[in-house]
Amino acid sequence: MQQPAEVFDAIVVGSGISGGWAAKELCEQGLRTLVLERGRNVVHQKDYPTAQMHPWEFKYRGRMSREFYEQNPLISKAAGFGADTAHFFIQDKDHPYVQQKPFDWIRGYQVGGKSLTWGRACQRWSDYEFTAPHRDGYGIEWPIGYNDVAPWYSHVEKFIGVCGTKDGIEAMPDGEFLPPFDFNCVEKHMHKVVQEHFPDRHLVHARWAHLTEPEEIHLQQGRGKCQARNLCMRGCPFGGYFSSVSSTLPWADKTGNLTIRPFSVVHSVRYNEDTGRASGVKVIDTNTHEEFIYEARIIFLNASALNTNLILLNSNSSRFPHGLGNDNGLLGTHIGFHLYRGSVSGRMPGFGDSYMYGFNPSEPILANFRNLKRQEMDFVGGYTTFCGAYRERKHHLPDSEVQIGADFKHAVSEAGDWYIYMYMQGETIPKKGNRVFLSADKKDQWGIPLLVTEVGYDENDEKMLADFLEQGTEMLEKFGCTDIRTRDSGQAPGLDIHEMGGVRMGKDPGDSLLNEWNQLHLCKNVFVTDGACMTSTGNQSPSILYMALTARAANFAAKEFKQGRL
């Protein structure tokens, strides 16, 4: 085992959406910071090989070969996966895990992680989401509330650039917004119908991490205006959407305090029995399989929700034989995710004289209207609904028409009917039985135990899904849709790519792992600020909360560091 000569104040494990933020804040505060990334390096613009490719330049026009699908039944299911984005996803065979219950674990191992391929929705949590689990008896109390995070939401929003409108909705507090993306004509109609028929519901413009009108701070990052290509997940050569690669990491690098070490999988966090603190991390070079020890006074775990669980579970010492900080045995339990199974769609007659210019990379949001201030339904938790209307090339002609030949070609070269869709993003209950743990006998190619997933749906999910399908249908009927179809995708948990929890925050060290500053209760110089820290799942897209919590914790850590307490 080798001990590198460089000295670091802080180590950040992971370079994705939260790791990038930890690196930026720590470096700006003057801490010499090492970012460990298990995958390869990705440099903004240079490493976006498909960004400017035309559809006809892809051999299978966006799809992959049969052989690839056969070998990658898991990763090829991910939203946005295709020939143009495959390089930002793992391949199944390289990274096995054990599914005690079906769980689609979607991963992107490279500098930037899944921030390259994320959905970019950026709604804030309301205080109701922080308080509802305890209020309605389906979770423990969060140690923080909306007011603790609000200034950090602003801090993050201003830097990454989030478009949207200030709508004054209780379920979804306003943020610092750049101008919104337009509604199209049918979405304007939907907005009006919701206002007229559902006074307690709010259909609003997308709150998405796109630079609709870049400000000085964004130009300083070298990022420019979103070009409305909606090819985001290839990596944006314009820096139109936020990723670690286009924004936080190069920003951190400018301070001169950043070192990124790719191809470095973290095996465990090392605990010093004498000091009662973590002393560093054990790293394995993924190519050479050499082991290294890196030491630092502060360690941020941002390895992605389940990998952060894995690292802590694998960090054993005589003081902590069952994983670092895990006296209560709750590490790896209470895994949550988002209920994504339901969608509703229908044909929208009319509006034949309207069309759109450009490709909207965002989607209108219907704020949660269930169980907001008290439990009103036969299920707990709420759901956010994403929706929209689109008009593509004509795909269907009336059956009576001739459907080959010149006239047919001209007909299908024109725009077709409008369609409306909605899909849900529902809160799930964090339960002790929904857990991950280490395999007793199976290891990966670096000798690290495989993660076992035991996470499933429950009756609450089924009731919420049924409610969404019913309400969605009713709204589409009110819009005037025909041919309405409801769908339960039946997908396994995980495919939502919103897995969270396992190292939850809480007030009481007896029933939680982290305190209000995301420090392990029992090992204060280890911070967890990725999805693993979540006490409950809420119903908003979680990434921006991870970023806000990370910035908040990193600034706290830097202050403690400077005052000699860490």
Partner 1 sequence: MNRRDALKLTGSILGTTVIGAACFLDGCKRANRESGLITTSDLALLDELGETILPATDRSPGAKDAGIGIFMKTIVTDCYAPAEQQRFIDGLGQIRQRAEREYGKGFMELSPIERYGLLLPLDKEAREAAGKGETHYFSMFKQLTLWGYFSSEPGATKALRYNPTPGKFVGCIPYNEGDKAWAR
- Residue with smaller CB distance to partner 1, 69 or 276: 69
Contacts of 77 (CB under 8 A, 6+ apart): 104, 106, 491, 495
Asked if 227 touches partner 1 (CB under 8 A), the answer is: yes
**Site track for partner 1 across 423-462, x = CB under 8 A:** x---------------------------------------
CB of 92 to partner 1, least distance (A): 12
Taking residue 388's Cβ as centre, other Cβ atoms within 10 Å add up to 20
CB of 472 to partner 1, least distance (A): 13
Asked if 374 touches partner 1 (CB under 8 A), the answer is: no
Stretch that binds partner 1, among 89-97, 168-176, 293-301, 485-493 (CB under 8 A): 485-493
In the region spanning residues 263 to 322, those forming contacts with partner 1, defined by CB under 8 A, are: none
Stretch that binds partner 1, among 8-16, 259-267, 414-422, 530-538 (CB under 8 A): 414-422
Tokens (6 digits) for 511:
């029933």
Asked if 372 touches partner 1 (CB under 8 A), the answer is: no
Taking residue 153's Cβ as centre, other Cβ atoms within 10 Å add up to 25
Work out which of 216, 274, 374, 404 binds partner 1, going by CB under 8 A: 404
Asked if 394 touches partner 1 (CB under 8 A), the answer is: yes
SS3 150: helix
CA–CA distance, 403 with 397 (Å, rounded to integer) = 8
Work out which of 15, 18, 50, 85 binds partner 1, going by CB under 8 A: 85
CB of 215 to partner 1, least distance (A): 17
Asked if 188 touches partner 1 (CB under 8 A), the answer is: yes
Q: Crossing angle of helices 459-479/185-197, nearest 10°?
A: 110
Work out which of 373, 489, 508, 559 binds partner 1, going by CB under 8 A: 489
- Residue with smaller CB distance to partner 1, 2 or 403: 403
CB of 485 to partner 1, least distance (A): 7
| C-beta separation of 323 from 449 below 8 A | no
Kindly state the number of chain residues that form the binding site for partner 1, as judged by CB under 8 A: 80
Taking residue 24's Cβ as centre, other Cβ atoms within 10 Å add up to 28
- Residue with smaller CB distance to partner 1, 43 or 402: 402
CB of 40 to partner 1, least distance (A): 22
CA–CA distance, 159 with 251 (Å, rounded to integer) = 11
Sheet holding 264-272, edge to edge: 264-272, 277-285, 291-295
Asked if 93 touches partner 1 (CB under 8 A), the answer is: no
| C-beta separation of 162 from 178 below 8 A | yes
* DSSP-assigned letter for residue 55: G
CA–CA distance, 143 with 122 (Å, rounded to integer) = 22
Q: Crossing angle of helices 127-135/146-160, nearest 10°?
A: 140
Asked if 183 touches partner 1 (CB under 8 A), the answer is: yes
Asked if 228 touches partner 1 (CB under 8 A), the answer is: yes
Asked if 33 touches partner 1 (CB under 8 A), the answer is: no
Stretch that binds partner 1, among 28-36, 221-229, 524-532, 549-557 (CB under 8 A): 221-229
Stretch that binds partner 1, among 49-57, 139-147, 328-336, 370-378 (CB under 8 A): 49-57
Of 350, 336, 370, 549, give the one whose Cα is nearest residue 464. Answer: 370
**Site track for partner 1 across 328-367, x = CB under 8 A:** ---------------x-x------xxxxxxxxxxxx----
Exposed (0-12), middle (13-18) or buried (19+): which is 318, by Cβ within 10 Å? exposed
Work out which of 410, 440, 490, 564 binds partner 1, going by CB under 8 A: 410
Give the distance between the most distant pair of CA atoms in the chain. Answer: 83
Exposed (0-12), middle (13-18) or buried (19+): which is 49, by Cβ within 10 Å? exposed
CB of 357 to partner 1, least distance (A): 4
Phi, psi angles (nearest 5°) of residue 295: -115, 150
In the region spanning residues 54 to 83, those forming contacts with partner 1, defined by CB under 8 A, are: 54-56, 59-63, 65-67, 69-70, 73, 76-77, 79-80, 82
